[in-house]
Structure 1
Amino acid sequence: MAFVAAVFLTPSRAGAQSASSPQSTSETYNFDGRLTQDWGGVRRVLAEHGVDLQLTDQNEFWAVPVGGSKPSNTYIAMTTAQLSLNLEHLVHLPLGTLGISGVDIRGHPFSNQRLYVFNQVSGIEADVNLRLYEVWYGQTFLHKRLDMRVGRLDFSHDFMQSDTSQSFLNASFTWPMVPDNNLYDQGPASPLGTPAVRAKYRLSGNWTVLAAVGDDNPIGASFLNDTDPWNQNQDPGGLRFHFGTGALMFLEAQYHTNMLGESGTYKIGGYGDTGRFPDQADPTVRHRGNWTFYVVADQILARLSGTRTVAGFVRVTWAPPTDRNQIANAADTGIVLNAPFQRAADVLGLGFGYGEASPVLRRARRQAGQPAPHAESHLELTYLVQATPWLQIQPDIQGMLSPSGGVLSISGRKVRDEAVFGLHSNVAF
């Protein structure tokens, strides 16, 4: 769901310089990673004054020849515009950075209605809308050791993240299956932001601590909605700033180190939510509060000839209150080869994900004479090709094993395992 965030968080892959960190001299600006270059010098002048506009267009074609409700093909797309203003460069005062972004979502979402899966096949899959995404103000303090941000925020930019997993297209590799299924509106992740405050403090060269608190319901709708499961159509323009359902709080510690001479990042964290959540056995019963713990490991495993490296990641999430969480625990892992065939910006990846349904939900379904959901797994093989500095093309193959842990389609037949073939493109303008 938050793959678009990765485009902005990894400008080297997108071929674009970070908008929040303008350089001090014009010679350091490089717009080769953007299709429209520097607009005849206009973009360079704007950047020197702290103004940067990023426009990214992502398009995907997916085919499901096996499994799901029936064989099908679909198209989805997302265009994202982000404007960043470095106020210190713009007005020559000791101020921070102002950012605003919006998304135009097109196509036909298919993971819910056609595939019946816990997690979405694509990170850009969402309800078709033109909506406001994020609006925030950020500033650093204490010699840039403390980074504060306030506004409408996407928590997946900072929390529960694995840098290595960003190469994959399946949504769970960016925003894990646990918060995606257990929080209101799938949680504050692309294309949704929520009113929040986020703080990042660098304790030392090795340790960083992050904390955030925000509203737990980005849309402000009820938790369950059979006619609109994602709830995004309840606020199609993204203009509602909701307060009142409950508070969502994140806390994460990061340790950056070199293991056997190679860099790695290890994270431990969790979140708590003060809102009310429906019982997995009886939706009319509500429980106050919810919480989840997680660990993430990113590590370069080997450095091969030339620029080639092998990196891996592991992430485990655990939601202890099984009476109010659809997914009790989940794990995902993957390995990527950077610069295969001596192509410096290409990535070859193999990933695996697993999510286990709540035992309370399983027992309730069994007592009702329905199939008891257990666990869903997915595999992904992907190859990201940096065709030009501004264009990425990514063929992708995914396998969905036991969709939703074993579920019946609307026709009453058990949904079979699914083979999914996709082609993703990303253009930075």
Structure 2
Amino acid sequence: MRTLFLSSGLLSCGLIGTCGSYAHAQVQTQIAQDRARLGNSTPLIQQIDPATVRDSERAQADAQQAATTDTGADNGLDTSGNLLGNMWGARPWLYRHGISFDIQEVDEVWGNGTGGTPSTNGDGQGSGTGPAYDGVTMPTLTIDTEKLFGLKGGLFNVSALQTRGRSISQDHLNNFNPVSGFEADRSTRLFELWYQQSFLKGKLDVKIGQQDLDTEFLISNYASLYLNANFGWPMAPSVNLYGGGPSWPLSSPAIRIRYRPSEKFTFMFAAADDNPPGNRYNSTPIQQATGSISGYNSDPTSQTYDGANGTNFNMGTGALLMTELQYALNPQPADMSNVTKNPGLPGVYKLGGFYDTAKFADYRYNRNGGSLGAAVANATSATPQSDLTPRWDRGNWMVYGIIDQMIWRPSLTSARSVGVFVRATGNGGDRNQISFAIDAGLNLKAPFRGRDNDTIGLGWGIGRASSGLRQFDRDSQTLVQGNENHLELTYQA
């Protein structure tokens, strides 16, 4: 089904303090690192999820703080962008002791202009069009252990979520990936809880605890301009893994290792719990298709199922092992005003993949080796004895490649630039909904004079339904699913 999406979003700087300077500049976040390597040509606000919104705002604040240090200006905490200023001296005092607290607020209104399906939350008789609101409030506490009690290279982070509203994708659209990266089931819960320690003068850092992997892995920095969720955590892992894997709005116990031997190379590895909701059975889409007949049809990505407060810490299904190698082409100097030799146009190239050790339901066969789709067709007609239990297959995998490349800028010191991105993912087709997906786009930074932080972009993507899913549709005598396209033209002011 093809639908038209209309959206408007509101992103506010921290109610307590997001737009000032931060106490944890010892080790760059992945967002900050890529932003620096690409010469700050990436969107000012990267909106994969609220955590990347926060990290991109912090990267901008840290860059401004470094600039004032380089020019010999006052290096105190700038609170001019905070709603409550310096909070009667409390915020600068906390900053000196390595403590920062901020609240990230995101509110969206989406509208489906045509097509769509009636809401599955009602009687199914209503309209498939109309507006939908969703909102997120995310408080974060960050502690720099060196400033607090002298432990160099340590960083502690804890954040929570309050999500509300309705998902227009779940209610009306019948699509593979959500149209917004901020849609989530309603809940109030723990989001992340981790400690990071750096070694070897910042070349190596290790993060342990409850983590959201989509703030570091699988990121295209130019693609993070867009609202469609596929430009953040891609379509394939979103629908193929248990609950979408450890990605917004879910996180998992994990250990992440990042090693940067030089300015050009970065290696990352993570081992995480593969199933944040903790719901092994009836938690993948194929089980939903058969569950509607057998009586089990819970939401596979629901963060309110089996651990609504975010402290379920499921460890019972399998491990998600993920790795990524990054190469920075022509990394940019921090201060372009003093450059005597053109460093060239920057780019970031990434290759990666994951392997999930858990078992996954097969789309083609039931546990007796027969056609699962045919069993569904028979069960809906006249043979209730049909075996509707899928065969379980051990393991799942995906490989991916990402290119972020600047292709033009008028001068070294100009804020204006044109960047392109391409990202492709591929995986097996017997236990997954999506077997291949690609997205690409073109961004123009600073399109108008005096608007140096604005970005306009045109992005497109496609996901291919897997061979197993298509065979299931044929055997169950339903509409055979094919490709899903998404196209977005956006302006960030």
Asked if these proteins are the same fold (TM beyond 0.5), I'd say yes
- 2:472 counterpart residue number: 364
State the one-letter code of the partner of 2:95.
A
- Could you tell me which amino acid in structure 2 is paired with residue 253 of structure 1? L
1:344 to 452, 457, 460: 452
2:265–2:327: 8 Å Cα contact kept in structure 1? Answer: yes
Is the CA contact (8 Å cut-off) linking 1:81 and 1:101 kept in structure 2? yes
CA distance in 2, matches of 1:37, 1:314: 41
Q: Distance in 1 between matches of 2:463 and 2:183?
A: 19
Q: Which amino acid aligns with 1:237?
A: N
Aligned to 1:313: 421
**Which of 432, 435, 438 pairs up with 1:331?**
438
Contact 2:220–2:232 (CA under 8 A) maintained in structure 1? yes
Alignment of 1:199-238 (within 5 A): 199-222=257-280, 223-224=283-284, 226-234=297-305, 235-238=307-310
Retained in 1: the 8 A contact 2:132–2:168?
Answer: yes
In structure 1, give the amino acid aligned to 2:349: Y
Cα RMSD (Å): 2.1
Partner residue of 2:408? 302
Count of residues in correspondence between the two structures: 380
Q: Residue in 2 aligned with 1:91? A: 149
Q: 1:334 offset after TM fit, Å?
A: 1.2
Cα contact 1:16–1:34 (8 A) shared by 2: no
Deviation at 1:40, TM superposition (A): 3.0
Tell me what 2:392 maps to: 286
* Pair 1:56-2:98 in alignment: no
1:276 corresponds in structure 2 to 359
The residue identity in structure 1 corresponding to 2:97 is H
Does residue 32 of structure 1 match 2:32?
Answer: no
- Give the C-alpha shift of residue 53 in structure 1: 0.8
Q: TM-score, normalised by structure 1?
A: 0.84
Give, in whole Å, the separation in 1 of the partners of 2:225 and 2:186.
24
Partner of 2:54: 8
How big is each residue's C-alpha offset from its partner over 1:323-353, in whole Å with a ceiling of 9 and x where there is no partner? 1011001001111111121201111111111
**Which of structure 1's runs of 4+ aligned residues deviate more than 3 A?**
15-18, 23-26
- Looking at structure 1, the residues matched to 446 and 91 of structure 2 have their Cα atoms a distance apart, in angstroms, of 30
Q: 1:39 is aligned with what amino acid?
A: M
Q: Match of 2:238?
A: 180
* Residue number in structure 1 paired with 2:197: 139
Q: Deviations over 1:147-188 (max 9, x none)?
A: 110000111111111111111111111100010010011111
Unaligned runs of 5+ in 1: 386-429
Give the number of the structure whose alpha-carbon radius of gyration is greater: 2
Report the alpha carbon displacement of residue 3 of structure 1 after superposing the two structures with TM. Answer: 2.0
Distance between the aligned counterparts of 1:254 and 1:240, measured in 2? 33
Higher relative contact order (CA 8 A, sep 6+): 1
Q: CA deviation at 1:228?
A: 1.6
Q: Does the CA contact (< 8 Å) of 1:3 and 1:166 recur in 2?
A: no
How far off is 1:28 after superposition? 4.5
Is the CA contact (8 Å cut-off) linking 1:111 and 1:121 kept in structure 2?
yes
Work out the CA distance in 2 between the residues paired with 1:175 and 1:279. Answer: 23
> Secondary structure in 2 aligned to 1:345?
coil
Cα displacement (A) at 1:95: 5.6
1:192 aligns with 2:250: yes
- Give deviations 1:49-97, integer Å, cap 9, x for gaps: 1001121111101111111112111111101111100111001233611
1:403 matched residue in structure 2? none
SS at match of 1:285: strand
Residues 122-137 of structure 1 mapped to structure 2, 5 A cutoff? 122-137=180-195
Deviations 1:363-413 (A, max 9, x none): 22112211111110000111111xxxxxxxxxxxxxxxxxxxxxxxxxxxx
Which amino acid is 1:347 matched to? T
The corresponding residue for 1:113 is 171
Q: Please say if 1:239 is aligned against 2:311.
A: yes
CA distance in 1, matches of 2:470, 2:402: 28
What is the CA distance between 1:122 and its match in structure 2?
0.6
TM-score (norm 2): 0.74
Q: Are the counterparts in 1 of residues 153 and 199 from structure 2 also a CA contact under 8 Å? A: no
Stretch deviating more after TM superposition (367-376 or 87-96)? 87-96
Residue 92 of structure 2 aligns with which residue?
44
Cα pair distance change 1:241/1:45, threshold 3 Å: same
Whichever structure has more strand as a proportion of its residues is 1
SS of alignment partner, residue 242 of structure 1? coil
